[in-house]
Amino acid sequence: MIKMRHAALLVLTFACANARADDALYKQFGEKDGLTKIVDDMYDNVLSDPRTAPWFDSAPVVRIKQKLVEQLCVLLDGPCVYTGRDMKRTHAGQNIDRVAFNALVEDLQAAMDKNGVSFHAQNKLLAKLAPMYREVQDRE
């Protein structure tokens, strides 16, 4: 009986440790409040960037920011659910090319820098975002 309790305690300890490890990246971004600040700053950047502004000038700002925070939270293993549409459908017909996608990434990096996100944490997020290019781009 004591061995079973020890085993159960050991399993529970590892489960808790893994839960904390899984959201470590999310915490490095400042959790939801931090992500909201990063998205706000990124949005300011894309609106002032001539390479990205045309895609955001008349876009529904509040909705886009909300969905970006949700999406980043999910990618960072945070406790969120993404409620937006899939990337392919959302960006269909927008003629997004590699130049525009890379410019958006640069604008995001500037926002992460401004908010004190470490280079290592930024790279982990960018590695998760990179495959999305295939989903948002129109064939070049």
> Residue positions in the annotated binding site for heme?
91
Structure-token pair, residue 56: 């955001």
Instruction: State how far the Cα of 58 lies from the Cα of 86, in Å rounded to an integer.
Output: 20
Can you tell me which residue has the tokens 């990337």? 87
CB count within 10 Å of CB 11 equals 10
Burial of 6 (0-12, 13-18, 19+ CB in 10 A): exposed
Q: Give CA–CA dist 20/40, Å, rounded.
A: 27
Alpha-carbon gap, residue 44 to 46, rounded angstroms: 6
**35 three-state secondary structure:** helix
The annotated binding site is made up of 91
Amino acid sitting at position 4: M
